[in-house]
Amino acid sequence: MLDTSEAIHPNKSGPVVIQEAWNTPGALKSWRQEGEVFYLEGERARLVLVFLNEHTFRLKLYHSGVPGLSTTPAVLPQITDKVSIIVRNQEDQLIMDTGSLQVHIVKSDLSWMVDDREGKRIARQNLISWNPRGLSNAVYDMPAQSHFYGLGEKASFLDKRGERYTNWNTDVFAPHMPEIEALYESIPLLIHMQEGGSCYGIFLDNPGRTDFDMRSHSGAYSIACHTGEYDIYFIGGPDMKDVVSRYTALTGRISLPPKWAIGYHQSRYSYMNQHEVLELARTFREKQIPCDVIYLDIHYMNEYRVFTFDPVRFPDPEGMMAELKELGMRIVPIVDPGVKKDPQYPVYREGVQQGHFCRKLEGDIFYGEVWPGISAFPDFTEPNTAKWWGDLHTFYTKLGIRGIWNDMNEPAVFNESKTMDLDVIHGNDGQPKTHEEMHNLYGMLMSKATFEGLRRQTGNERPFVLTRAGYAGVQRYAAVWTGDNRSFWEHMALAIPMVLNMGLSGIPFAGPDIGGFAHHTSAQLLVRWTQMGVFFPYCRNHSALDTMRQEPWSFGEEVEGILRFYIGLRYRWMPHLYNLFHEAAETGLPIMRPLILEYPADRHVTNLSDQFLLGRDVLIAPVYRPDSEYRSVYLPEGIWIDYWTGEEHPGGQHILACAPLERMPMYIRSGAVIAEGALRQYAEEPLLPVKDALTFHLYGAKAENGFQADASLYEDDGVSYNHEQGQYSQLAVRIAGREEGIELAYDYQVRTYAAERNHLRFVLHQPGFEPSRIEGLERLNAKQLAAGREGWYVEAESGSVIMQVQDGMEGASWLILR
Ligand code: GLC
């Protein structure tokens, strides 16, 4: 037999050993400075440093090509501060000193170190190298007592030391386990906390596959990218809050959502028809369980064609929307990126004719299978495609729909690689790149196109977008839910550190499917998960096809009663919650916080993954095991007041909390002020003004010299953009202890918006403190207060002092005498 050359095919000679040549930049040959930008010429590569301000610099490695300083869409157009940089050119180092950071470049190998203002070393990159296949890797010092946070949506505990992760947006139906390295979202921000609590952040702005390895080396961690450029931002602290707020200055913050978007949401895969949706809405109202939104999952569509309704299941969307409007219930429909290949379907036809779908280099459209069968995928990197897609949403907005749920936007494809072919070429507004280089941006760009489309169509109303996939900066356009978890107690527990790290990674508006998506929930799991979930920023109950029903009434009256109470609590706490959303929009700080953010010096909280803070003042300790009526709770420094019993506990200790099924342990920081509103069935439910008092709960106010507490509450109409035109109010409450009693004052610092209400109430939670009198206020009884009079009384059961006053423009103050 004759052999062809195939006989010597390389595949036949066993594994090939490739001697990988790893390159390094070599020694510094020359450098120049242009304002805030430094160009360093090494023997084999260039480094470019850009100082954005005195705390943040960008460092980009070029081993080929001409240095360009454009960024991905994650980074906001940069307003570079004028930074005065003192340069010291020493024999072995080039030092750039911003006053807050000193960057030392080692001339012999272009490694670098960062010192803080006091000259203390805070970071060191030892080695940066790359191989001919395009992988770049840098190694950083990892001292023994240091911890890691951030990295967005990852499984496992809060502290990421000892973990290794990949960023590659992936549709992971199962399993969500600590060993899973990549989930739906990629936020390549790592926060490194050193002993004593001082932090810096490194953001790698590369939307291809990237790796963060805090496991494989002792004493070092590494950050790698598989394609594209090594382009990092070093973000100085020293507080973790500084890092989060500077990172979000770079990649953006949430825009204040409409209040209905932070209510309770009910979803299922799927509510199958119009009748079922309306029944569901009526049941919520009949049962007086508050709810703002019902989601329409994929069955609402005509054979899963986006921008359609199934004519049999949903014959009359207008009629359905009209009745829902009466009930104060909103609809958020799912919109996936896959457009069914069907020449009869106008969206597909238009997409092909106008060239909106992703293509291979050779010009063929990329097709992949998703719910509708063979589908094409819009190229959201192209501005005109993004505009086209956004405009298609008039289909929904003309029905009064103001929120859209983006799913499967990793993009997920039912094939071996689970996504789009890597050699698809994205147009990228004239700078074509492969899908391999841009993969992690797909979901965020879809949400951007959606948000901007809605924004063009909804006039002065704030829209809402929910997304599964995303990249750094996604927070500007969408809230994020954590994908297909299961009704496992372990997944309930996993959601805490996952959403906490998302909050530290710039995504404060996030939450899991409450009750669990796949598998079957149980009465206890649903109770415990809802108790916890009402204190997560995003609060939606969602479950999969063929699983146990998990609407709040699915497990009988006892469970229903508990869920009604907790969901109601979220609505009563809406003013407090909304204030925290406003703070997140202004500062980037998370709504739901790990204790380490507020207590960085406390070694008990570096990896505390089963408790969290709502803002600064409320400690939530969910029960995440079946049949557990007790759990241990760690209280950090200060005094903490049991929300249920009023008992005071000194902090700095572990306590055993009693938690029968109807009670989730909650503690309020002594000195805190919690704003509570009326119980509504939906965020914008109109109430009689007299019922709509705003109550400030004052915890732990002391009639002692030196005691001081203050708080401030932001309010606006909760639905329009008028606040951007200056229509909002900012109400300040001040409490000061005196020997003779407690001085309480409030005033409006801004009041260009006035909530409809007549009264303010103040509740002093301080059992045993019974005032002799309150100057300027009459002592009355509960009934007289309920009738709308100004005055105060002591509630018999709790011993709390309740004051009711007119809500006056000018503010007022009182002396509450012992
Ligand atoms: C995906 C989503 C899930 C949704 C389902 C059907 O699995 O993650 O939330 O219900 O698709 O659309």
Inside any domain, residue 448: yes
Q: Are 501 and 494 in contact (CB under 8 A)?
A: no
Bigger pLDDT: 808 or 11? 808
Residues 6 or more apart whose Cβ sits within 8 Å of residue 444: 73, 74, 467, 469, 470, 471, 473, 474, 477, 478
Residue 656: per-residue pLDDT: 98
Domain that holds residue 700: 686-817
Same domain, 581 and 596: no
* pLDDT at position 805 over 90: yes
- Range of weakest confidence among 15-24, 36-45, 271-280: 15-24
Inside any domain, residue 289: yes
What is the DSSP secondary structure assignment for residue 60, as one 8-state letter?
E
The protein residue with its alpha carbon nearest to ligand 1, atom 4, reads 269
Same domain, 766 and 793: yes
Residues 6 or more apart whose Cβ sits within 8 Å of residue 93: 104, 105, 106, 107
Inside any domain, residue 358: no
Inside any domain, residue 561: yes
The protein residue with its alpha carbon nearest to ligand 1, atom 7, reads 484
- Write out pLDDT tens, residues 42-62: 999 999 999 999 999 999 999
Same domain, 285 and 229: no
The residues facing 373 across adjacent strands are 370
334 lines ligand 1 (CB under 6 A): yes
Nearest atom in ligand 1 to 173's CA = 7
What is the DSSP secondary structure assignment for residue 423, as one 8-state letter?
T
Residue 769: per-residue pLDDT: 84
483 lines ligand 1 (CB under 6 A): yes
- Range of weakest confidence among 3-12, 22-31, 58-67, 603-612: 3-12
Q: Report in angstroms the alpha-carbon separations of 712 from 265, 509, 709, 753, 777.
A: 28, 21, 11, 15, 23
* Cα 483 to ligand 1 centroid, rounded to whole Å: 8
Catalytic residue, chosen from 484, 598, 610, 617, is: 484
Nearest atom in ligand 1 to 267's CA = 10
Same domain, 499 and 538: yes
The one-letter amino acid at 472: A
Residue 163, number of CB atoms within 10 A of its CB: 19
Backbone angles phi and psi of 441, in degrees to 5: -90, -15
Instruction: Say how far residue 157 (Cα) sits from the centre of its chain.
Output: 17
> What is d(CA 711, CA 675) in angstroms, rounded to the nearest whole number?
9
> What is d(CA 523, CA 194) in angstroms, rounded to the nearest whole number?
43
* Cα 361 to ligand 1 centroid, rounded to whole Å: 31
* Cα 406 to ligand 1 centroid, rounded to whole Å: 10
Q: What are the strands, taking DSSP E only, across 24-146?
A: 28-34, 37-42, 46-51, 56-62, 86-89, 93-97, 101-106, 112-116, 121-130, 136-141
Number of domains comprising the chain: 4
- Write out pLDDT tens, residues 617-669: 999 999 999 999 999 999 999 999 999 999 999 999 999 999 999 999 999 99
* Cα 468 to ligand 1 centroid, rounded to whole Å: 9
Same domain, 529 and 649: no
Is the sign of the CA dihedral 24, 441, 545, 533 positive or negative? Answer: positive
CATH number of residue 95's parent domain: 2.60.40.1760
Q: Report in angstroms the alpha-carbon separations of 314 from 467, 543, 634.
A: 24, 21, 51
* pLDDT at position 19 over 90: no
> What is d(CA 39, CA 95) in angstroms, rounded to the nearest whole number?
13
- Which residue, of 518, 552, 587, is where some domain finishes? 587
- Write out pLDDT tens, residues 68-92: 889 999 999 876 678 999 999 999 9
CATH number of residue 648's parent domain: 2.60.40.1180
Residues 6 or more apart whose Cβ sits within 8 Å of residue 643: 618, 666, 667, 668
Q: Report in angstroms the alpha-carbon separations of 54 from 47, 233, 289.
A: 19, 13, 51
Same domain, 648 and 694: no
> Residue 163 has which token pair?
């973990």
Catalytic residue, chosen from 153, 163, 382, 410, is: 410
Catalytic residue, chosen from 163, 185, 407, 551, is: 407
> What is d(CA 515, CA 609) in angstroms, rounded to the nearest whole number?
19
- Write out pLDDT tens, residues 516-552: 999 999 999 999 999 999 999 999 999 999 999 999 9
Strand 293-296 to strand 265-266: parallel, antiparallel, or no bridges (unpaired)? Answer: parallel
Q: Report in angstroms the alpha-carbon separations of 656 from 22, 304, 425, 629, 634.
A: 55, 51, 58, 10, 9
- Range of weakest confidence among 184-188, 536-540, 690-694, 761-765: 690-694
CATH number of residue 496's parent domain: 3.20.20.80
Over range 602-628, report the average pLDDT. 98
* Cα 410 to ligand 1 centroid, rounded to whole Å: 13
What is the DSSP secondary structure assignment for residue 52, as one 8-state letter?
S
* Cα 729 to ligand 1 centroid, rounded to whole Å: 39
> What is d(CA 24, CA 396) in angstroms, rounded to the nearest whole number?
54
Q: Are 434 and 422 in contact (CB under 8 A)?
A: yes
Same domain, 554 and 694: no
- Which residue, of 668, 701, 723, is where some domain finishes? 668
> What is d(CA 382, CA 789) in angstroms, rounded to the nearest whole number?
61
> What is d(CA 197, CA 194) in angstroms, rounded to the nearest whole number?
6
The protein residue with its alpha carbon nearest to ligand 1, atom 3, reads 484
Q: Are 560 and 553 in contact (CB under 8 A)?
A: yes
Q: Report in angstroms the alpha-carbon separations of 504 from 244, 248, 637.
A: 6, 10, 22
Walk across the sheet containing 373-376 and list its strands: 339-340, 373-376, 367-370
Inside any domain, residue 159: yes
- Which residue, of 251, 280, 307, is where some domain finishes? 251
171 lines ligand 1 (CB under 6 A): no
Q: What are the strands, taking DSSP E only, across 525-669?
A: 540-541, 592-593, 612-614, 618-620, 630-635, 639-642, 648-650, 653-658, 666-669
Best CA proximity match to 229, nearest among 394, 99, 64, 81: 64
Residue 14: per-residue pLDDT: 61
> What is d(CA 126, CA 140) in angstroms, rounded to the nearest whole number?
6
Q: Report in angstroms the alpha-carbon separations of 769 from 104, 235, 818.
A: 59, 48, 7
Inside any domain, residue 421: no
SS3 per-residue string spanning 138-171: EEEECCCCCEEEECCCCCCCCCCCCCEEEECCCC
300 lines ligand 1 (CB under 6 A): no
306 lines ligand 1 (CB under 6 A): no
Residue 4: per-residue pLDDT: 78
3-class secondary structure, 42: strand
Dihedral angle at the C-alpha atoms of 407, 410, 411, 413, nearest 10 degrees? -90
Best CA proximity match to 595, nearest among 576, 569, 618, 613: 613
Pocket test for ligand 1, best of 170, 295, 297 (most atoms within 8 A of CB): 297
> What is d(CA 507, CA 431) in angstroms, rounded to the nearest whole number?
28
Nearest atom in ligand 1 to 269's CA = 10
Inside any domain, residue 607: yes
* Cα 777 to ligand 1 centroid, rounded to whole Å: 56
* Cα 420 to ligand 1 centroid, rounded to whole Å: 18
The one-letter amino acid at 15: P
Over range 407-427, report the average pLDDT. 97
Same domain, 568 and 507: yes
Residue 2: per-residue pLDDT: 74
Helix (H) or strand (E) holding 558: helix 556-572
Same domain, 583 and 597: no
Best CA proximity match to 477, nearest among 347, 372, 380: 380
Nearest atom in ligand 1 to 336's CA = 12
- Range of weakest confidence among 173-182, 382-391, 446-455, 676-685: 173-182
Q: Are 371 and 342 in contact (CB under 8 A)?
A: no
Helix, strand counts (H, E) of the chain: 14, 52
- Range of weakest confidence among 193-197, 221-225, 336-340, 365-369: 193-197
Same domain, 633 and 715: no
3-class secondary structure, 499: helix
Residue 12: per-residue pLDDT: 73
Same domain, 145 and 268: no
> What is d(CA 546, CA 268) in angstroms, rounded to the nearest whole number?
10
* pLDDT at position 18 over 70: no
Inside any domain, residue 778: yes
- Write out pLDDT tens, residues 662-680: 999 999 999 999 999 999 9
Same domain, 458 and 519: yes
Nearest atom in ligand 1 to 483's CA = 8
Q: Are 201 and 247 in contact (CB under 8 A)?
A: yes
Residue 21: per-residue pLDDT: 83
Average pLDDT value for the chain:
96
Q: Are 401 and 457 in contact (CB under 8 A)?
A: no
The protein residue with its alpha carbon nearest to ligand 1, atom 10, reads 269
Nearest atom in ligand 1 to 270's CA = 10
> What is d(CA 188, CA 669) in angstroms, rounded to the nearest whole number?
33
Over range 401-421, report the average pLDDT. 97
> Residue 790 has which token pair?
């100004």
> Residue 498 has which token pair?
């996952």
Residue 17: per-residue pLDDT: 54
**484 assigned to active site:** yes
Pocket test for ligand 1, best of 171, 269, 487 (most atoms within 8 A of CB): 269
* Exposure letters 528-539 (e unless 16+ CB within 10 A, then b): bbbbbbbbbbbb
